[in-house]
Amino acid sequence: MTAANVEQRKVGSPQGDSILSTVLKYIALIVVDAFALVLLYTFLYAGNLAFAAVIGIVTAGANIIVLSPPLYPFRWMSPGLILVSLLVVYPIFYTVYTAFTNFGDSHRESKQEVVIRYTTGRQYRFV
Query: What CATH number is attached to the domain comprising 25?
Result: 1.20.58.370
What local confidence, expressed as pLDDT, does residue 7 receive? 53
The Cα–Cα gap between 97 and 106 comes to 14
**Domain contains 125:** no
**Domain contains 38:** yes
**Domain contains 110:** yes
The Cα–Cα gap between 38 and 96 comes to 27
Alpha helices in 1-127 (DSSP H): 3-12, 19-46, 49-67, 78-84, 90-99, 111-120
**Domain contains 61:** yes
List the domain range (segments joined by +) for residue 14. Answer: 3-120
**Domain contains 73:** yes
**Domain contains 116:** yes
The Cα–Cα gap between 75 and 80 comes to 10
Q: What is the pLDDT of residues 70-125, one digit of tens each?
A: 988 888 898 898 888 888 988 888 888 777 776 655 566 778 887 887 788 776 65
- Of 84, 77, 40, 47, nearest to 62 by C-alpha is 77
**Domain contains 126:** no
Q: What is the pLDDT of residues 20-39, one digit of tens each?
A: 888 998 999 999 999 999 99
| 0.85 surpassed by pTM | no
**Domain contains 69:** yes
Count up the domains in the chain and report the number: 1
The Cα–Cα gap between 5 and 33 comes to 38
